[in-house]
Chain A
Amino acid sequence: MTIISKETIAIRTEQDAVFLRHRVTEYCVKIRMGLVNQTKLLTAASELVRNMLRYAGGGVVLCEVVSQSVLMMGVRLTFTDKGPGIADIAAAMKDGFSTGKSLGLGLPGTKRLVSQFDIKSQLGKGTSVTILKWKNG
Chain B
Amino acid sequence: MDKIPILKMGQYLLVTVQVDLYDRLALGLESDLVNMIRKHSSRGVLIDISAVNIVDSFMGRILGNIAQMSKILDAHTVVVGMQPAVAITLIELGLPMTGVHTALNVEKGMDLLREQLLAQEPLTPEEDDDYQ
Contact = CB atoms under 8 A, between A and B. Distances in A.
Interface of A: 14-15, 17-18, 21, 35-36, 38-40, 42-43, 46-47, 50, 95, 102-103, 105-106, 108-110, 112-113
A42 B22 contact: no
B30 to A, nearest CB: 14
30 contacts: A14-B23, A14-B24, A17-B22, A18-B20, A18-B22, A21-B54, A35-B85, A36-B84, A36-B88, A36-B89, A38-B85, A39-B86, A39-B89, A40-B89, A40-B92, A42-B53, A46-B56, A47-B58, A50-B23, A102-B58, A102-B61, A103-B57, A103-B61, A108-B94, A109-B57, A109-B94, A110-B93, A112-B92, A113-B89, A113-B93
A46 B22 CA distance: 9
Interface residues of B, number: 21
B34 interface: no
A103 B57 CA distance: 7
A56 B93 CA distance: 23
B55 to A, nearest CB: 7
A89 B89 CA distance: 24
